[in-house]
Chains A and B, each alone.
Chain A
Amino acid sequence: MSERIKPLLGHRLFWPIAVLVVMLAANTIYRPGFLSIEMNNGHLYGTPIDILRLSAPLILVALGMTLVISTGGIDLSVGSICAISGAIACLHISEAADQNSFVTVSTALAMALGVALVLGAWNGVLVSVIGIQPIIATLILMVAGRGLAQLITEGQIITINSGPYRAIGLGHFLTLPLAIFIALGAALLVAAFTRRTALGMIIESVGGNREASRLAGIRSGRIVFLVYVASAACAAIAGFMMTANVSSADGNAAGLWVELDAILAVVIGGTALAGGRFYLSGTILGALIIQTLTTTVYAMNISPQTALLFKAVVVIAVCLIQAPAFRAKFNRRKRGTPPPPASSPQRQKEEVTA
């Protein structure tokens, strides 16, 4: 390996990007037009654009999830929150006289976002104040929230016909889908909030060692509360996108299992589930990888019966390639150096002994 490539190979994002490139390449070989982008009524149009647009909601949810996971928590309720926020917004719009009115749409969004924030606060209180384990605390809302969403829609699919709302999912801006900009904006916002301020470091510190952070004067509880609220807000916006994308709110299907995808994206991106350091750019790549995987299944016309097997293989391949231990073993075979420690210190969280 030349000295030039080495730092590149060592970069955290190298392998996720490599995986993404390989998947895109495989698709292009299967269907040469896969990567082509064309101009159509002033909009860019093509599979890569589809992937970006479709991954936007997942990116949003995963951004919030990254923060939650960084504190050592997990948020299973995001899917339900997507469904609830989408349902509230669509319900409000569908009942309005003029669905295209900008005011109606803004009110709908504000209402839905408000409710989502309340739900996030509920999760936050359960975890940080009452001290319930995050997975169970958010499981409550995962189950009940789906019911709430269906209560709002009364089990029906609410179809709306609102230009401004539709734009959230399908509108264009500078020839690109608006959804991409919204996701990008959210990513930049989260990045600014965490990396331009000290918030990111404080979140990582709480996730790394909550007691030590408390003794250093950090209000750990407040931070934990905050990340759940942030996660809910992200999920709400994702919910708008999902429902706007099909101009209808489906209390049952909207955001179903998105929590698993989001967690997967976060973990592929390099953030450990045990908490601590988080990587927003990695998360975004993870979301893109997952969406590309789904699109690949459709584009290569892999039969639904075997689609899951294909997914399993790709997920495990992605993770193996990324695992430093795997690469170390692989390299060792080539160079014959002695084995690394049986377990890398990176994963093992420093535990509280006293």
Chain B
Amino acid sequence: GNSDTGSDGAGDDGKLVLGFSQVGAESGWRTANTVSIQEAAGEAGIELKFDDAQQKQENQIRAIRNYIQQKVDVIAFSPVVESGWDTVLKEAKDAGIPVILTDRAVDSADKSLYKTFLGSDFVKEGRLSGEWLVEEKKAATGDVNIVELQGTTGSAPANDRKKGFGEAIAADPKLKIIASQSGDFTRAGGKQVMEQFLRAHPKIDVLFAHNDDMGLGALEAITAAGKVPGQDITIITIDAVKDGMQALADGKFNFIAECSPLLGPQLMDLAKKVHAGEEVPPRIETEETTFTQEQAKEALPNRKY
């Protein structure tokens, strides 16, 4: 208990109160996301009620219910899963509290349950990666063997990135995914799976990893197998965290599709607008880009995370 005694209603001191329920702290990406939101709230003069759901949907629903009880002004959350939010969002709507989704969407049929969605498009990230690869291997003769390191089985980013990538490379019949396995978004997982890929498949041309961490783990496996990452095997990842960008700049990765965690400032703007009753677009995508090795070298010095 701290200053909350006086402020768990709608800002007694006139401050806007934002209740934010985060998925958890399961990756460096997520932590950067949290930090960005916390910092932005401070800068924007918004009182943030933060809750970490530890990757459990139950905890998130509980948090939203408690925000309703505490009568916060705006609720924002990054849903752990896409579905299952209607009931609690209805309660929020009945209580007259606007809701903003961040990072991941929900599949609710009733779009009036939330004001807007702010975040990245995982399918697009996969597609961008795939499109780059198609372009890169245009000149290649013969089959291009791709191995894929999936994220946690059943998670939205894994499903969507796989989908987007698959759609994009369908454009070129040379490109073949010869193996695809889950590395659980971790370095250790990526490494262990890559080791087996390398043993089982003598000719691997491309590695597509659903995030940087698995790619970084795979790097170690590739090096240990006596191959040169970035040359013998083309490596594509998603996220663009610092270590990943470094690897890209060093020529070990070939391409990264960014998935920016820095939603904080945009979220605070939106919260203010929504609270003031202004109209906001139903879907706002974070500004994201892609990096090649040269771009990474330029961008690296000013990366925040």
Contacts and interface: CB of A to CB of B under 8 A. Distances in A.
Complex contact flag A–B (Cβ < 8 Å):
yes
B172 to A, nearest CB: 23
A157 interface: yes
Contacts of B26: 252-253
A34 B182 CA distance: 21
21 contacts: A41-B226, A46-B199, A150-B31, A155-B35, A156-B31, A246-B220, A248-B216, A248-B243, A250-B186, A253-B26, A253-B184, A253-B188, A294-B192, A298-B192, A299-B196, A301-B179, A301-B181, A304-B150, A304-B153, A304-B180, A304-B182
A46 B27 CA distance: 31
A67 interface: no
A213 interface: no
B229 to A, nearest CB: 14
Interface string A124-137: 00000000000000
Contacts of A303: 180
Contacts of B30: 155
A246 B223 CA distance: 12
B200 interface: yes
A145 to B, nearest CB: 14
A219 interface: no
Interface residues of A, number: 35
Interface string A145-161: 00000100011110100
A155 B182 contact: no
B217 interface: yes
A159 B243 contact: yes
B25 A252 contact: yes
- Chain B CB within 10 Å, residue with most, of A245, A246, A250, A294: A246
A281 to B, nearest CB: 25
B28 interface: yes
A46 B180 CA distance: 21
Contact of A40 (B196, B217, B226, B243): B226
A242 interface: yes
A261 interface: no
B142 to A, nearest CB: 22
A156 B188 contact: no
B35 to A, nearest CB: 8
A178 B197 CA distance: 23
A301 B31 contact: no
A252 B199 contact: no
A252 B226 contact: no
Contacts, number: 89
A42 interface: no
Nearest to B182: A304
B182 A156 contact: no
Interface in B34-69: 34-35
Contacts of B191: 245-246
A305 interface: yes
A304 B153 CA distance: 6
Contacts of B184: 253
A205 B162 CA distance: 54
B187 interface: yes
Interface of A: 31, 33-34, 40-41, 46-47, 50, 54, 150, 154-157, 159, 170, 242, 245-248, 250, 252-254, 294-295, 297-299, 301, 303-305, 307
B133 to A, nearest CB: 21
Contacts of A250: 28, 186-188, 213
B200 A54 contact: no
Given A47-B196, A250-B188, 14 more contacts: A31-B200, A50-B195, A155-B25, A155-B31, A156-B28, A157-B28, A157-B213, A170-B224, A250-B186, A253-B186, A298-B196, A301-B181, A303-B180, A304-B182
B88 to A, nearest CB: 25
A307 B182 CA distance: 10
Given A40-B226, A298-B193, A299-B200, A242 B188 contact: yes
Contacts of A254: 188
B75 to A, nearest CB: 23
Interface string B145-181: 0000010010000000000000000000000000111
A315 to B, nearest CB: 18
Contacts of B186: 250, 253
Contacts of A298: 181, 192-193, 195-197
A254 B28 CA distance: 13
A295 B226 contact: no
A254 B27 CA distance: 11
Contact of B199 (A157, A170, A299, A304): A299
Contacts of A157: 27-28, 187, 213, 243
Given A253-B186, A298-B193, A154 B31 contact: yes
A305 B185 CA distance: 16
A301 B200 contact: yes
The 7 closest A-B pairs by CB, nearest first: A155-B31, A298-B196, A304-B182, A253-B186, A246-B187, A304-B153, A156-B28
A217 B136 CA distance: 75
Contacts of B25: 150, 155, 252
Nearest to B178: A301
Nearest to A308: B153
A34 B25 CA distance: 38
Nearest to A157: B28
A140 to B, nearest CB: 15
B221 to A, nearest CB: 10
Contacts of B243: 157, 159, 248
Interface in B182-218: 182, 184-189, 191-193, 195-197, 199-200, 213, 216-217
Contacts of B200: 31, 299, 301
Interface string B219-231: 0100010100000
- Chain A CB within 10 Å, residue with most, of B25, B213, B226: B25
B36 to A, nearest CB: 12
Contacts of B193: 298
A242 B192 CA distance: 12
